[in-house]
Chain A
Amino acid sequence: FADLADVSIAEDIPVEGEITVPVGSRSPDDDYSTLDEPVRDTIMRDLKAVGKKFVHVMYPKKSSALLRDWDLWGPLVLCVSLALMLQGGSADSKDDGGPQFAEVFVIIWFGAVVITLNSKLLGGTISFFQSLCVLGYCVLPLTVAMLVCRLVLLAGSGTVSFIIRLIVVVAMFGWSTLASTAFLADSQPPNRKALVVYPIFLFYFVISWMILTFTPQ
């Protein structure tokens, strides 16, 4: 990102905007606020926002739409599906997988909170929930990797399957890390970027490790 450090706007490019302050009173009947929209509109609007973010994660280009309207539905769904798919591993043979399920939850949410705090302490400009949103949505490639791993393990669990799983998990890990740093690194001062990227790397590494070492009974 070194090339972007000395971008400046030439002085003859017009910069314009529009700021108006309303004068006078308005009749209440003219106002349409989100207080009155039908429920179906609310649901559809939120669902579309979630869908758009999923698409953004899969094709991470530098856009601020993910950051602008954050929501935590996507991370919740991803967290639950990842935790469900990590069930039935050989670690919890005798009980019903309780602790491990809650473990995945705690790792993901607590890890995301710690990364967010870290980036805020380093002077980042992103808000708390935006950062949680981005980190949560970027778990999507790893969830896909988990799905693929489970399917591969259905076929067999020899060396070949391990190599396939390794490749898939490493690729998805790289994708997750790149996607989240594409969104998050911009909000940091330039000399702190590595300090911010490192915990994100670690976070997705831990999740990838859980995925790769998963062996069904």
Chain B
Amino acid sequence: PSPLTGSPPQALVDDTEDVSLDFGSEEELALRKAKIRHPLATFFHLFFRVSAIITYLFCDWFSNSFVACFVTILLLLSFDFWSVKNVTGRLLVGLRWWNQIDEDGKSHWVFEAKRVPTIAASTEAEARIFWLGLIICPVIWTVFFFSTLFSLKLKWLALVIAGISLQTANLYGYIHCKLGGQKSISRLMSRFFVTADVPKRQTRRISEDRTEEHGKMGTR
């Protein structure tokens, strides 16, 4: 049918015509295809934990001094705790947890989960590496605990206990985030967090008892 206006008839787009879809730049395309989108984070997630375990197993080869090994392993465990808690968790699986003290002095454990996947969101391979690393290492440290206890090398016990507590804390925190995230999928978007003012983190948060608070409450 010819158009009712006076302009010349234009070709209609039909199903066989090629339509080019714009996925974005080349870089984004490569990012989408890559199996591991955060290579550095993945590396560091495993690096500190595995180094701590290797150093513990082979400390006699590295150095004669108990003190040097102790301090090295402790530092590796601490860096691992910090990096898994603050960096690799949010980059690899989009989860984060922390503790917040509000103005009454009550402590709240806050669990944050990313709802909307962006281009740089994590892949399945990364998530698998993350969870495997998170679960296997505390198990290994528990094995070390029993071996230390039964072989009576008690001077290492403090270190092994520190290792178990730090790694189990991360494991527990992330499992809680994950389970909390799955429960909230069936609820409305009002459960989503925002923290605009990073040092204070007071603008909007969901505490563990599932109530939502906003803004500052000044009473003094």
Binding site for B on A (CB under 8 A): 15-22, 25-26, 28, 30-37, 39, 41-42, 45-46, 67-70, 73, 76, 80, 83-84, 87, 96-99, 101-102, 105-106, 125-130, 187
B199: which A residues are within 8 A, CB to CB? 45
Nearest Cβ in chain B — how far from A134, in angstroms?
A: 12
Q: A32-B196, A34-B198 are in contact. List 12 more A-B contacts (CB 8 A).
A: A15-B219, A19-B215, A26-B192, A28-B192, A33-B193, A39-B87, A45-B199, A73-B78, A102-B155, A102-B157, A102-B158, A130-B107
Which residue in A18, A42, A69, A99 is a CB contact (below 8 Å) of B86? A42
Nearest Cβ in chain A — how far from B108, in angstroms?
A: 10
Q: Select from chain B the residue with minimum beta-carbon distance to A25.
A: B189
Q: Give the total of B residues in contact with A, Cβ under 8 Å.
A: 48
Binding site for A on B (CB under 8 A): 64-67, 70-71, 74-75, 78, 82, 86-87, 90, 94, 96, 99, 101, 105-107, 112, 114-116, 155, 157-159, 188-190, 192-196, 198-199, 201, 204, 212-219
**What's the Cα separation between A39 and B38 when bound, in Å?**
12
B155: which A residues are within 8 A, CB to CB? 98-99, 102
B101: which A residues are within 8 A, CB to CB? 67-70, 127, 130
Q: Is the CB of A35 within 8 A of B105?
A: no
B94: which A residues are within 8 A, CB to CB? 35
Among A34, A36, A67, A128, max chain B CB count under 10 A is at A34
Which residue in A16, A25, A31, A69 is a CB contact (below 8 Å) of B218? A16
Q: Would A105 and B158 be within 8 Å (CB), given that A34-B198, A68-B101, A127-B101 are in contact?
A: yes
**What's the Cα separation between A101 and B159 when bound, in Å?**
11
A26: which B residues are within 8 A, CB to CB? 189, 192, 194
